[in-house]
Amino acid sequence: MNKIILASTSPRRKELLEREGIDFIVDASSIDETMDETLPIKERLCQLAKDKAEPIHHKYPLDIVIGADTIVYFQNNIIGKAKNREEAYETLQKLSNHKHTVYTAVAIYHGDSLEVFCDQTDVYFKDISIMINDYLDSEEWMGKAGAYGIQGKASAFVERIVGDKDTVIGLPVMHVKEFLNNIKDKS
């Protein structure tokens, strides 16, 4: 059986695969994560997921390599990771009482084949104005797109979601698992 390699250092992606009992190793390379702004948002993200997986695929050409990237998209703008508390506050204040979309693109190399897809989930926040400072004190916002982690304390921000919560966390793991099962069934 081929090894499965997660081409990402994201602790959340690692936790999602572990939760599903998937046996894998982590090996990620650092790449330039600048997106091609001439492409539509989903295509940009798919290209980035592919770019993350490709060097690892070259290292393990016979194995299964999973690359992924997640963005928060609000009012036609990508909301990245906040650089500091002030930026995190501004981001969360913007998202308060609004809907935003989270996209996670996944690129899976298996031998000579490449499967790329992009899942999206709409997240509706309540008015969180009075909760923001307490949340920022927790420092849970650090290193997260949109300055929040839906699986932690920020779950209190959410009025509802339309789509897969795992997409928001960073990997639509059921979609990935389905692909891995199809590979297993064919071998």
pLDDT higher than 70, residue 187: no
Say how far apart CA 104 and CA 72 lie, in whole Å: 9
| Enzyme catalytic residues | 69
pLDDT tens by residue, 118-131: 999 999 999 999 99
- pLDDT for residue 32: 77
pLDDT higher than 80, residue 166: yes
**Architecture in CATH for domain 4-186:** Alpha-Beta Complex (3.90)
Specify the pairing of strand 4-6 against strand 158-162.
unpaired
pLDDT tens by residue, 125-149: 999 999 999 999 999 999 898 999 9
Q: What is the mean pLDDT of the chain?
A: 94
What would the DSSP string read from start to end of 11-42? HHHHHHHHHTT---EE----------TTS-HH
- pLDDT for residue 104: 97
- pLDDT for residue 2: 82
Contact 121, 163 (CB under 8 A): yes
- Provide the greatest CA pair distance for the chain: 54
* Bridge partner list, 106: 68, 117
- The pTM of the full predicted model, rounded to 2 decimals, is 0.92
- pLDDT for residue 1: 63
